Copies of this chain bind each other. A is one copy, B any other.
Amino acid sequence: MGEQRDLTTLEYYVLGLISVEPQSGYSIISYFEMDWWRWRGSSSPGSIYPILKRLESQGIIDGELEVVHETRPRKMYTLTPLGEELLDAWLRAPVTKDEAGEERATLMMKFLFAEKRLSSGEILKWLDSYEEATSYYITLLQVNRNPMATGVWSLHQQLILEATLMELNMQRTWIQMARQRLLAFAQNGS
């Protein structure tokens, strides 16, 4: 108990994977190697096994040797109540302005794990905060866009600003689309 230090993104990723179903160190590493939706970081044994030890010693996950039948023994980890609490708090946390500007990969990761752990109401609330943070950034950047026309910014700087704005607008469009799909799903389960 005592002070609860902040977990790293990688640690939350591990928690998320375990929350979907119990995992061994090896299965977590394999998952990172598939890497279907672009999470940066190779995550070799050198990071995963120490993380599992760390989380276990803090009572966040619980590992026990699988009953050996047909296959080699492996240590399967599940979330403890504390682990569930930490993960859910992290998933529920509203998106801040800073997160909207960077780290889309992390946000998508949250969104992925939220599917099975949060209620649709909570997920919609989270999307709202995401949209708000994104909109905040868009207006902020558009203020900077004016001097852009007057030649304060170089050509490349202008183009980079343009790219950032395009990305933020894309994010907003996606959020709206996601919300509608979630609502449609909730209504007729299609």
Q: A: which residues have CB within 8 A of B? A: 36-38, 40, 101-105, 108, 111-112, 114-115, 144, 154-157, 159-164, 166-167, 170-171, 173-174, 177-178, 181-182, 185
When C-beta atoms are compared, the residue in chain B nearest to A108 turns out to be B160
Complex formed: what's the CA distance from A172 to B162 in Å? 13
Contact B111 A37 (CB under 8 A): no
Q: List 13 A-B contacts (CB under 8 A).
A: A38-B101, A38-B102, A40-B102, A40-B103, A104-B163, A108-B163, A111-B160, A114-B156, A115-B156, A155-B181, A159-B177, A159-B178, A167-B167
Contact A37 B156 (CB under 8 A): no
Residues of B within 8 A of A40 (CB): 102-103
When C-beta atoms are compared, the residue in chain B nearest to A36 turns out to be B144
Contact B181 A174 (CB under 8 A): no
Contact A37 B164 (CB under 8 A): yes
Contact B166 A174 (CB under 8 A): yes
- A185-B155 CB under 8 A given contacts A167-B170, A170-B170, A173-B166: yes
Known: A111-B159, A159-B177, A163-B171. 4 other contacts (CB 8 A): A37-B157, A38-B101, A155-B181, A155-B182
- Min CB distance A19 to B, Å, is 13
- Min CB distance A88 to B, Å, is 16
Residue among A40, A160, A170 with the most chain B CB within 10 A?
A160
When C-beta atoms are compared, the residue in chain B nearest to A157 turns out to be B112
- Min CB distance A185 to B, Å, is 6
Contact A160 B103 (CB under 8 A): no
Within the complex, which residue of B38, B156, B167, B171 is in contact with A111, where a contact is CB–CB below 8 Å?
A: B156
Complex formed: what's the CA distance from A173 to B166 in Å? 10
Residues of B within 8 A of A37 (CB): 157, 160-161, 164
